[in-house]
Amino acid sequence: MDYLQDLLKKENKMNTEKYKKLINLTIKNAIRKKLRSTLTILSVIIGIASVVALVVLREGMLNAVSDQFNKMGANSIFIMSANFQGDPNSAGRVQKKLC
């Protein structure tokens, strides 16, 4: 049992040392190649910002369309002619109740 615990301790110590070396190597390379690191960080920021902007735009459009349908009424359809001439607020509109 002691042998197994000693082996696990040694393995954990080796893994910790490997991670420390890896982190040190990463930091050294980031400092050495400043332009590459800066461009990579900038591209990640732009990517995240574009995804957030698209999600916000989608939500805004969804709310705008829902508001328009709510203003018309949930149970009515308006049909207008494609070559309609005249006052758009009075004539040429047919309203049909669905319910």
pLDDT recorded at residue 90: 56
Residues of the chain scoring pLDDT < 70? 1, 3-8, 74-99
pLDDT recorded at residue 72: 75
Angle at 89 between CA 88 and CA 92, to 5 degrees: 60
- Contact between 96 and 76 under an 8 Å Cβ cutoff? The reply is yes
**Percent of the chain, pLDDT > 90?**
31
Q: Which residues contact 98 (CB under 8 A, 6 or more apart)?
A: 75, 76, 77
Work out the mean pLDDT of the chain and round it to a whole number. Answer: 79
pLDDT recorded at residue 99: 53
For tokens 């319910």, name the residue. 99
